[in-house]
Structure 1
Amino acid sequence: MSDDTYNGYLERMFRLQRFGIKLGLETIGAMLAALGHPEMRLRCIHIAGTNGKGSVAAMLSRILTTAGYTVGRYTSPHLERFNERICVNEQPIDDAQVVEACQRVFAIDDLPRQPTFFEFTTAMALDQFARQKVQWAVIETGMGGRLDATNILRPALSVITNISLEHRSYLGDTLAAIAAEKAGIIKQNTPVVSGVRQKAAKAVIHAQAVTRTAPLFQLGRDFRARRREGDQFDYYGLDHTWRKLLLGLPGAHQLQNAPLALAACELLQRTATVAVTEADVRSGLRETRWPGRLEVVSTEPYIVLDGAHNLMAARVLGRYLRETFKQRNITLVVGILDDKPYRSILKDLMAPCHRTIVTQPKINRAMPADRLAETARTLSSNVEIVPDVGDAARHAIRTSRPTDVICVAGSLYVVGEAKTALADISLS
Structure 2
Amino acid sequence: MASPMNFQESVDYIYSFVDFERTGQITYNTRALDLKAFSELLVLLSNPHEEFAVVHVAGTKGKGSTCAMLASVLRASGLRVGLFTSPHLLDVRERIQVNGKWIAKDSFARALSVIKPVHAHLGLTSRSYRTTFELLTAAALLHFAEEHVEVAVLETGLGGRLDATNVVHPALSVITRIGYDHTGILGGTLSAIAAEKAGIIKENIPVVVADQKPEALTVIKRVAAEKNCPVVEAAREFRATPSGTAPTQTVSFKGNGLKLEGIRLPLLGAHQIQNASCVVAAAKLLSSKFPSIDAASIGRGLAEVRLMGRVELLRADPFIVVDCAHNLESAESLVETLQELCVSGKKIAIIGISTNKDARAILAIMTRYFDKFLVTRADTKRAMSPVLLADQLRGLGAQIEAFDSASDAANAGLSMIGPEDLLCVTGSVYLAGQLRPFLVESAGRFG
- What's the TM-score bracket when you normalise by the shorter of the two chains? over 0.9
Match of 1:385 among 376, 399, 402: 402
**383-392 or 133-142: which moved more?**
383-392
2:314–2:440 contact (8 Å) kept in structure 1 = no
CA distance in 2 between partners of 1:238 and 1:50 (Å): 27
Verify: 1:245 aligned to 2:263, yes or no. yes
Q: 1:18-417 to 2 correspondence within 5 Å?
A: 21=26, 22-107=32-117, 108-109=119-120, 110-111=122-123, 113-230=128-245, 231-270=249-288, 272-417=289-434
Q: How much does 1:200 deviate?
A: 1.2
**Which consecutive residues of structure 2, in runs of 5 or more, have no partner in the other structure?**
27-31
2:438 corresponds in structure 1 to 421
Equivalent residue pairs, number = 424
1:301–1:397 contact (8 Å) kept in structure 2 = no
1:9 corresponds in structure 2 to 10
**309-318 or 246-255: which moved more?**
246-255
Q: How much does 1:29 deviate?
A: 1.3
1:6–1:98 contact (8 Å) kept in structure 2 = yes
Q: How much does 1:256 deviate?
A: 0.6
Amino acid in the other structure paired with 1:325:
C
Structure-2 change in CA distance of 1:277 and 1:254 (3 Å): same
**45-54 or 387-396: which moved more?**
387-396
Give 3-state SS (helix, strand or coil) of 1:204's partner: helix
Q: How much does 1:77 deviate?
A: 0.7
Structure-2 change in CA distance of 1:143 and 1:347 (3 Å): same
2:175–2:209 contact (8 Å) kept in structure 1 = yes
The superposition leaves residues 311-337 of structure 1 with CA deviations (integer Å, 9 ceiling, x where unpaired) of: 100011112223423422111000111
Give 3-state SS (helix, strand or coil) of 1:408's partner: strand
**112-121 or 69-78: which moved more?**
112-121
Amino acid in the other structure paired with 2:191:
A
Q: How much does 1:420 deviate?
A: 2.6
2:29 corresponds in structure 1 to none
Provide the alpha-carbon RMSD of the alignment: 1.7
Q: How much does 1:78 deviate?
A: 0.7
Structure-2 change in CA distance of 1:201 and 1:111 (3 Å): farther
1:235–1:241 contact (8 Å) kept in structure 2 = yes
The superposition leaves residues 212-268 of structure 1 with CA deviations (integer Å, 9 ceiling, x where unpaired) of: 111110133333312234432221232312222221211121111101001101001
Structure-2 change in CA distance of 1:382 and 1:147 (3 Å): same
Give 3-state SS (helix, strand or coil) of 1:220's partner: helix
CA distance in 2 between partners of 1:423 and 1:401 (Å): 17
The superposition leaves residues 347-383 of structure 1 with CA deviations (integer Å, 9 ceiling, x where unpaired) of: 1123211110011111211111111111112123421
Amino acid in the other structure paired with 2:81:
V
**279-288 or 295-304: which moved more?**
295-304
CA distance in 1 between partners of 2:426 and 2:66 (Å): 20
CA distance in 1 between partners of 2:367 and 2:353 (Å): 13
CA distance in 2 between partners of 1:82 and 1:159 (Å): 24
CA distance in 1 between partners of 2:102 and 2:437 (Å): 17
